[in-house]
A and B are shown apart, each in its own frame.
Chain A
Amino acid sequence: MAEVLGVLTKYNQLMYQGLQETLYMVGFSLIIAVSCGIPLGILTAITRKGHILENKVLHKFLDIIINIGRSIPFIILMVAVIPFTRLLVGTSIGTTAAIVPLALAAIPFVGRVIDNSIQEVSLGVIEAAQSMGATPGQIVWKVLLPESLPSIILGITLTAINLIGYSAMAGAIGGGGLGDIAIRYGYQRFKIGIMIETVVILIILVQVIQWFGNKLAAYFDHKT
């Protein structure tokens, strides 16, 4: 037992750095994905048939874009966007470079999550706002987003957890983070203890994020 603990302490510094890298990648890609995905999701939702800015062509276009984005396996996307990553970051290796494919994969995901959340807002409430003379912009800001906020928060929580999973994969191509450690030490050097430790840290991380997301969503939810 003492031996195992000794090994673990030896690698504490390594684990700490890995966790930091994971949080850095996930945090930044999440911010980018949310800031692009929310407008994408809103636009997809409100151009749907019968909604406030019905537009068949635009809706179909956005819908297909989101579906395509979500059907590409992350591992393939990661490799495919290397030239783009190089253009943007200057390199295709390292944690900063990993943010590019992570964000690109998460944007359509967030888009769909927001689209779904907004669809949950009852048409009656939207109609009430229209009957008061609200503009589409007012309806988005004062009705759609506040009314679907709890659902949006849960959706973003889901995205964050997905990104943790993806970031582990990014480790495979030199992205750094906990996934990288698990592969280099655990898989390639047969250090099972380290592999288990990274997994435990990831489990705790996911639990904490989900718990926080649930709490935050409940705080904003006044439906019951």
Chain B
Amino acid sequence: MIELKDLNKQYRTPHGSLTAIESINLKIREGEIFGIIGPSGAGKSTLIRTLNLLEKPTSGRILINGQDITALSSKALRKKRQKIGMIFQHFNLLSSRTVRDNICFSLEIAGVPRAKQASRVERLMELVDLTDRADHYPAQLSGGQKQRVGIARALANQPELLLSDEATSSLDPESTESVLKLLAKIRDELKLTVVLITHEMEVIKQVCDRVAVLEKGKIIEQGKVIDIFANPVQPLTRRFIKSVIDFNLPTNLIDEHNSDQLIRVSFLGKSTHQPLISSLVRKYGVNANILYGKIDDIQGTPFGTLVLKLEGEEKLVKDGVAYLNERGLSVEVLNHG
């Protein structure tokens, strides 16, 4: 669907040139929700804005369905942009227009005949659940409602791609969740591709299929969300994951048990359905005492960690750990006792 090849963007500043993004190579598949996460200043915004050329890359190519959009004439680009919806952190609605007219705005831009506009707008308002707010002005809406107007407006011309530029960053947690749910719903119902940028791992965890981590203008890690969560490689990625799922042992627990044998067992998906701990106890005669545990769920896949205190013969304990490893759990020995 989208392919970025060797994308670079440098800004000229009075103090020389500043690299915003560097050697970006990325493939985004049709129908997926692709997340790009990074700290502020990492170049996320620049990156997503190149996808509809609000930002012109210094070099590189942007292929959308095989077509290089950097080569389009300005007229052809305007036509193309009608098929790429975009939503923004600060909503960017027209304050002088009502909800209905804000949605209608994108139809007017695209030259949709007046007779067809009204019925389409009605359907879009239903989709985002704002029919009862049709004649309200943006100033009379909550943040979440404003963003839903933004989404309806972005979808008005039946785009194949939706870009979300920190769309939930200025919303409260409740509105964030409703907006994310809406994004997932429209992806499923309208079969469009969504690219979103965010600095919140929670957003990635809730809706994204795949994720790329951006640091200082470069992609340092990418893959399926569940894999990245289970197996983060880069320190930055670990930090992001820690912000939503903190599996670190409280320090008082560590102090209390510094002479015990402690292991940390992480599990993902199916293995949670097997009675592994009780098997360990029965098979090896090792006593397992659960000191600490956390289980989370990433889009329906259970994902968690347990810290166990093991008691038993040294060899049996070793075998037991090997057994858990075999069963697809990742085991980390925290303390040999």
- How far is it, in angstroms, between the C-alpha of A122 and the C-alpha of B91 when the chains are bound? 11
Q: Interface extent on B, as a size class?
A: 20 to 34
B-chain residues with CB within 8 Å of residue A147 when the two chains form the complex: 94-96
Residues from chain B with a CB closer than 8 A to the CB of A222 are 95-96, 137-139
Q: Does A88 contact B (CB under 8 A)?
A: no
Check A124–B106 contact: CB distance below 8 A: no
Dominant secondary structure of chain A at its interface with chain B: helix
25 contacts between A and B (CB under 8 A): A122-B90, A122-B92, A124-B92, A128-B92, A130-B54, A131-B52, A131-B54, A131-B81, A131-B84, A132-B82, A132-B86, A132-B106, A132-B153, A133-B79, A133-B80, A133-B110, A134-B78, A134-B109, A138-B108, A142-B109, A146-B94, A146-B96, A147-B95, A222-B139, A223-B139
* Bound complex: CA A135 to CA B111 (Å): 11
Q: Taking A142-B105, A223-B139 as contacts, is the C-beta distance between A132 and B81 under 8 angstroms?
A: yes
Closest to B52 in A: A131
A224 on the B face (CB < 8 A): yes
Q: Nearest CB to that of B82 among chain A residues?
A: A133
Interface size counted on chain A using CB atoms at 8 A: 22
Known A222-B137, A224-B139; contact A142-B78, beta-carbon cutoff 8 A: no
Measured CA separation A146–B102 after assembly (Å): 12
A223 interface neighbour in B79, B88, B95, B163, Cβ under 8 Å: B95
B194 close to A (CB within 8 Å) = no
Q: For A130, A131, A135, A138, which residue has the most chain B Cβ atoms within 10 angstroms? A: A131
Question: What residues on B are CB-neighbors of A129 within 8 Å?
Answer: 105, 109
Tell me, in angstroms, the Cα distance from A38 to B52 when the chains sit together: 31
Cβ of A198 to closest chain B Cβ, rounded Å: 40
Cβ-based interface call for B238 (8 A): no
Q: Is the pair B82, A142 in contact by a Cβ cutoff of 8 Å?
A: no
- For B122-164 the 0/1 string (1 means CB < 8 A from A) is 0000000000000001110000000000000100010000010
A125 to B153, CA, bound (A): 13
Residue B191 CB within 8 A of the other chain: no
Pick from A122, A131, A135, A220: contact of B96, CB under 8 Å: A220
Q: When the two chains form their complex, are residues B94 and A133 in contact, meaning their CB atoms are under 8 A apart?
A: no
